[in-house]
Structure 1
Amino acid sequence: MSIKSILVGLAGAMMLAAMPVQAVEITHDLGTTEVPDAPQRIVVLEYSFVDTLAAVGVSPVGIADDDTRESIIPAYTAIIGDEWTSVGLRREPSLELIASLQPDLIIADTSRHEAIYGALSEIAPTIVFDSLTGTYEVAIEAAKTIAHAVGKDAEMAARLAEHTATMDAFKAEVGDVSDLSIQFMIDNGEGIFLHSPVSYNGSLLAWFGFKSNMPTPDGHTYSEAIVQTSLEQLSEINPSVILRGKYTDPGLTDSWVGQPLYDNLDAVKNGHVYDVIAHEWSRLRGVLASEVSAANLVEIIKQIRQ
């Protein structure tokens, strides 16, 4: 090869290196953002975004993991590994830590991070989706958009085809549940929080065909999606099945045992109060998370039908 051809090749390589990285325009809850083609250093500020990246085999460099690495469940770490840096709490991530990671994409939550969207955008291109109060359907649509942002459309299409087949199989196993009203609730030891029909879990249960005795709100705020309640209010809803996620043991509901209002709940009388893992059911959302919850749900319905 001549010196001239080598110089021409080097000049061409330099021109390619100098060319700006092609960006993809992503529309999200707070506007439209240009994201670099196939970003490599991604920081995520909600668990559902970890779920989405895991679904397409992408490892984030930073996660708002509430300073608890164990909150990133094995179903995720089996794919993304454990090399991420914690950037603090989901509700209040550290801007300094995020900036130190030199991200080329940040994925944030509409409800939690709207107030710091400007600051995040100064660090890196930031796209925002409704994870905290979004439904199951909203989570799946957000996953598609995020996959497009990271250049993984084909991988997400394949994973969602697998997901649809998996969820349809779970739904067939569950069968006709129109005779059952079901309620997912969180017991944190101090309060009881019911997930309404417009919440992620409420909409997932509705997808399976379960009834809900909770009123369906017209809006979609956090207080409408996840409603703090009392024993008196729970007795009015009176579900036939309760899925209970306890963050403490004993929980507040354990202190209700022996009280007529609690003991006369249909779910309690029939022995249909089932404890599920609070973190997995309450905090995780998305493709993998819904499959974990659905598998759990199948086993519970099998017990009910015995």
Structure 2
Amino acid sequence: MNKFTAAGLLSALALSAAAAAISVKHERGTLDLKAPAQRVVGLEYSFLDTLIALGVRPVGGALGTQGGDRGAPPYLQPLTRNVTSIGSRAQPNLEAILAVKPDLILADAFVHRDLYPQLARLAPTAAFQSRRGSYEDVMQQVLDIGRLVGREAQARQLLRDQAQLLAKAQAFTNRKAPPVVMAVVTEQSVTLHSTESFVGSLIEKLGRKNAVKPQGAQTQYEVTLEGLAALNPATLVLFTGADERPIVREWAKHPLWQKMTAVKRGRVYEFDRDLWTRARGPIALKQMLAQTINSGLLQDRAPTAAYAFRE
């Protein structure tokens, strides 16, 4: 081989390596990888959902219940049976993460903001706004994660599929319907989701107006019964846990509750909190969009039996 041929080969190899290199902007800067990641740890359910939708099996995931976490949503459990649990979203175990030898960690920019420096020392780490992100944020993450794992073409197809599903759901929307108030409900609290939250921005994307605006930097914030009654929603959407007795069961006995327009109109809907507010990836979104239609929410019809508020 003469020097010219060797030089050409080296040049071709260099170009090939450069083509394989990846650079993705995230909440903590820009992550540069020399090649697509193959061993990925996801510290949020939306990341695990996205990876699986892309055809990538995570080597580790935040699937535990430490720190009061409820564990993976039911729909995600069968899809993550072969994924090693590395603790919970609230309390990921650094030793467990190191043991699965990741070449990429996907972290939540809000939940893991203090832990990020330690995670970045274990492996290249990208932080995205999942827990406090909007619908658009999550869609961008699908593309960014696809690029990081060398599945950009698949990611773009997922986004096209999602756009088609969104358009089909929008066709059912009664755009003259009054604004919606959406809230996550636990046994102790009711948290409103504004136009900048995930579910709050999704409902607007579907054509229903969200009556709740952010409070400063807070896209989600708690409200009392009196505060909710002051908003007097014409449509009220509640996200509750199937294994809990949410506080609104008690609120429903109060005269303030009975006076709300949504109650009088029979437009109080109840959805599964595990699916709607803890998942957020492409797989979960298919189920969520179907439920917005089947429940009657988009059409502003009285909720069907499966989604009617249970007093």
What displacement does 1:177 show? 3.0
Residue 272 (structure 1) aligned to one of 258, 267, 272 = 267
How far does the alpha carbon of each residue in 1:51-101 deviate from its partner, in whole angstroms, 9 at most, with x for none?
211221111011112338962543x466x5521011111122111110011
- TM-superposed CA distance for 1:122, in Å, is 1.3
- Kindly report which structure 2 residues correspond to 1:243-262, keeping only aligned pairs within 5 A, or say none: 243-247=237-241, 249-262=244-257
The CA deviation at 1:112 is 1.1
- 1:32 matches 2:30: yes
SS of the aligned residue for 1:115 comes to: coil
Distance change (3 Å), C-alpha of 1:277 and 1:56: same
Offset of 1:249 from its aligned partner?
Answer: 4.0
Partners of 2:70 and 2:277 in 1: CA distance: 17
Is 1:183–1:242's contact at 8 Å kept on the other side of the alignment?
Answer: yes
Letter in 1 for 2:48: V
TM-score by length of 1: 0.85
Change (3 A) 1:69 1:213: closer
Please name the residue that 2:64 is paired with.
Answer: 66
Matches within 5 A, 1:1-306: 23-67=21-65, 71-74=72-75, 76=76, 80-173=79-172, 175-219=173-217, 224-247=218-241, 249-301=244-296, 304-305=300-301
Q: Say what the alpha-carbon RMSD is for the aligned residues.
A: 2.4
Aligned equivalents of 2:61, 2:70: Cα separation in 1: 9
2:308 match: none
Identity %: 30
AA matched with 2:57: S
Once residues 258 and 29 of structure 1 are traced to their aligned partners in structure 2, the CA distance between those partners, rounded to angstroms, is 44
CA contact (8 A) 1:47 1:285 kept: yes
Distance 1:123 1:244 in 2: 39
Partners of 1:118 and 1:93 lie apart in 2 by 14
Contact 1:29/1:130, CA 8 A, preserved across alignment = yes
Residues 73 and 278, structure 2, Cα contact 8 Å, conserved in 1 = no
What is the CA distance between 1:24 and its match in structure 2? 1.7
- Letter of the 2:188 partner, please give it: E
1:82-126 deviation digits (Å, cap 9, x = unpaired) = 210111111221111100111111000101112121211111111
Secondary structure, in 3 states, of the residue corresponding to 1:283? Answer: coil
Say which is worse superposed, 268-277 or 243-252, in terms of deviation.
Answer: 243-252
- Segments of 5+ residues of structure 1 without an aligned counterpart are 1-15
The superposition leaves residues 239-265 of structure 1 with CA deviations (integer Å, 9 ceiling, x where unpaired) of 122221223543211112231110011
- Matching residue of 1:13: none
Instruction: Give the Cα–Cα distance (whole angstroms) in 2 for the partners of residues 35 and 187 of structure 1.
Output: 40
Pick the structure with more helix per residue.
Answer: 1
* 3-state SS of paired residue (1:204): helix
Q: Secondary structure at the match of 2:22?
A: strand
For residue 235 of structure 2, what is the amino acid of its counterpart?
A: V
